[in-house]
Structure 1
Amino acid sequence: MKKTTLATLVGAAAFAAAGAANATIVVGGENGYEFSVDGNINQFFIASDQDSANGAYDQNNQGVANGLLPTFFGFNVKAPEINGLTVAARVSISPSTNNGSYFNSDNGNASGNMEQREAFATVDGAFGQIMLGKGLGLYAANNILLDQTLYGVGATSVIAANDQNTGTTSLGRIGWGYEYANWRSQIRWTSVDMAGFKVALAVADGDDFLEARDAAGYEKDARYEASLSYGTAFDGGSAKLWLDGMTQKVSYANLDSIKANAYTVGGQLVLGGFEAVAAYYDGKGQGIGGLGLGAFKNGGSDARDGDGYYAQLGYRFGGQTFVAGSYGESTLERDDSAAAGSNFGDLDTNSMYTIGVYHDVTANLKLVAEYSRMETEYHLQSDEDEVDVLAIGGFISW
């Protein structure tokens, strides 16, 4: 991306359960309550070589930072089943190891090195599961959780003058092949497994679009998300398919309301040592990466279309070493009101290919070596931005 920084991304965990009032929670206690902790610390040496479209931001950088995942430390509680219901909860903290972690201080959203991504409770029963609180959204969750760069770095926010700051985290493929699921305050229902099929519905706090939230008269509606998935296992492998969608209405600057809509479809196939993933998305009013950047066109009067995809193929040697390669693109339609060189109004396509080796030394230690080539094309410029990113590091988890 051009002359800006994106960050605040992804991790995956689970903090389960809260018990009855005044209950004593004991680790593995005889009263049936369970308590556990989990988490990770990851760190990478990251080197980048950048050639920008206009030559003004050509630079080489080296740094030390965490990757697409921040540090996670999660606390989980689970109550025993009572009257057919199991109550659980999770709270996690997500510190970044990066110096000067921030998201977008220009928009009054500066943050320190600590995030709160998960704080939710669940109730399980014959009806499925109800989730209340903050957790990873439904739309595009599988896209990011099955991406090889989840345990690496992927894209970085290096295209800015004298800056390789990855913010709180790097970007993985967010805006380079899929949109961001994001961590959302929500109420969600997930069905029981129905011969491999599952349905999930959620109402979530709506996005504050960067282009709108400071404008006079800006309003947002709740965000609605849905997911239909199918999973099956067979001798020597497994398969998973998903279809997700979202919708949200926004209005600002005394203009008519604009709806943001999107869907994504994808699948994963594991066969022997081979693992393949492919996903496609199409949306309107989402901007690049689903973060609201470049979401509107013609001075904000219309929602801007975007789509993208990624494909990944890997092989797992001996169950411990995963070698994978992937390619993905994210595209925005032209905004005729944008000037050449404008940040996201002029952006056409982000594309990136990644190759990586992810080796589990033990169950608690993963080593990673990853190379990515990022390219950004513009509607009104003949040249493109090109960035090579090499990352070497790994995870300690518990």
Structure 2
Amino acid sequence: MNNKKIRRSALFTAMFAAMGTSAGVNAAVELYNQDGTTFSVDGYFNAFYVNRDDDVSDTRDSRIKMGFLPNTIGFNFSKEMGDLTLGGRSSFWTSINDSLDSPTDTSIDVRQFYATVDGSFGQVLIGKDFGLYARSNIFLDEILMGFGSPGTPGGVSFGNIRTGYPYPTPSAQITYRAPEMSGFNIAVGVLDPADTVTGANDENSAPRFESEVTYSTDVNGLALTGWVNGRYQSAENGGTTIDSSGVGYGVKASLAGLTLAASGFTSKGDNPVLITNSALTEDDADGFLVQGAYTFGPNRIVLSYGETDAEILDLETENTTLGFFHDVNSNFKLVAEYNMFESQNRTTNATSADSNTIALGAIVTF
């Protein structure tokens, strides 16, 4: 049995789908394939010239930064063992944005380091990988390979994180994926708990539970994808108990060169930016993202708008992006993007961020 190179990383599958290219063809360089054992490497490299005008601070800033996705190198392994296929993936993500923050001290983090066991029963994944909650919301974002909203000074931009969906933070997990059933794919997992309470006596009597169901079909050339995902966790510290939960959802339709997509989330007791951060309350948050894209020849135009209303963080955000992507070839892409991001305090209505960003970038993949 061949599990398609251990069911290639969902991130790289999404990336190459966005490029209009088969992930199985171009997502990796195969270094070894003999006697049922394979080993391959994939890579993603990008840099953007970024010019940002911030109305709140009345400043204009020019930087050379990476985009929403960091520069990445990944290693994939699979070995057929009778009725089972054993696999593994490790990926290393690096920031190039160290010039103004900590020269030469490039940050490297490991977001995927897992093993897989595939068989007629489906797949079991053990290790560290992206979460299931909000997974398709971000992986099917039309500006995944763009820049999006501002992020931290020394890190990646935020894309539509906090303006349409939370980040499916990579976590230690044990996840089961059922065999594909008439277009349906089902995944359920237990994950290391997020830090929703603080103090010396944190108690998590149960792990975090996450799941996702996706459905894909093609009706007379109309490609449809829909998904629902969710999470639940309960944590306690002394007399404080935080029950956190979230539901993400979306639908995407493509016909000829036109793609329309809409997604959203609603949560309670969850930080709507990074779900591993302390929430401390059971307040609500919700958001949505609507996008349209048109592909003609090697070009793709994207219009994206997203909002998040977070009682739990006392903020409201909105993000509008107009992007142009041009494929020089299947492994080289040029990007031009204009982004407008605004954030307000829900209580005072004070504007904390109001920025317009021009980003011009290049992406190389293998």
Would you call these one fold, judging by a TM-score over 0.5? yes
SS at match of 2:150: coil
CA RMSD of aligned residues (A): 2.2
Distance 2:156 2:149 in 1: 10
Where structure 2 has 5 or more consecutive residues not aligned to the other structure, the ranges are 1-8, 14-29
Distance 1:389 1:217 in 2: 44
1:63-101 CA distances to partner (integer Å, 9 max, x unpaired)? 111111111111111113x33211111111111111169
SS at match of 2:260: strand
**Cα 1:131/1:381, change in 2 over 3 Å:** same
SS at match of 2:144: helix
Residue in structure 2 matched with residue 137 of structure 1 by the alignment: 131
Distance 1:155 1:240 in 2: 25
Alpha-carbon contact 1:11-1:72 (below 8 Å) kept: no
The structure 1 segments of at least 4 consecutive aligned residues displaced by more than 4 Å after TM superposition are none
Alpha-carbon contact 2:195-2:278 (below 8 Å) kept: no
1:248-306 CA distances to partner (integer Å, 9 max, x unpaired)? 12234x3321111000111111111011111111001112324366834xxxxx41100
Alpha-carbon contact 1:101-1:113 (below 8 Å) kept: no
**Cα 1:216/1:236, change in 2 over 3 Å:** same
Alpha-carbon contact 2:267-2:285 (below 8 Å) kept: yes
1:315 aligns with 2:324: no
1:373 aligns with 2:331: no
Distance 2:278 2:162 in 1: 12
Shift of 1:126: 1.0
SS at match of 2:333: strand
Alpha-carbon contact 1:46-1:64 (below 8 Å) kept: yes
Residue in structure 2 matched with residue 34 of structure 1 by the alignment: 38
Residue in structure 1 matched with residue 66 of structure 2 by the alignment: 66
What amino acid is the match of 1:250?
A
1:303-360 CA distances to partner (integer Å, 9 max, x unpaired)? 1100000000000112x21101011101112x7xxxxxxxx4x42x111111101111
Which among 150, 167, 175 is matched to residue 156 of structure 1?
A: 150
Distance 2:131 2:100 in 1: 23
Residue in structure 1 matched with residue 240 of structure 2 by the alignment: 256
Alpha-carbon contact 1:117-1:135 (below 8 Å) kept: yes
Residue in structure 2 matched with residue 93 of structure 1 by the alignment: 92
Distance 2:113 2:150 in 1: 27
SS at match of 1:195: coil
Alpha-carbon contact 2:195-2:277 (below 8 Å) kept: no
Distance 1:368 1:309 in 2: 24
What amino acid is the match of 1:179?
P
Provide TM-score, normalisation by structure 1: 0.79
SS at match of 2:143: helix
Residue in structure 2 matched with residue 390 of structure 1 by the alignment: 358
Where structure 1 has 5 or more consecutive residues not aligned to the other structure, the ranges are 1-9, 15-25, 103-110, 159-164, 297-301, 336-343
**Cα 1:315/1:397, change in 2 over 3 Å:** same
Alpha-carbon contact 1:46-1:391 (below 8 Å) kept: yes
Provide TM-score, normalisation by structure 2: 0.86
Which among 182, 190, 209 is matched to residue 224 of structure 1?
A: 209
Residue in structure 1 matched with residue 165 of structure 2 by the alignment: 178
Alpha-carbon contact 2:165-2:272 (below 8 Å) kept: no
SS at match of 2:180: coil
SS at match of 2:137: helix
1:198 aligns with 2:166: no
**Cα 1:45/1:321, change in 2 over 3 Å:** same
How many residue pairs end up in the alignment?
337
What amino acid is the match of 1:321?
N
Alpha-carbon contact 1:280-1:309 (below 8 Å) kept: yes
Q: Percent identity?
A: 32
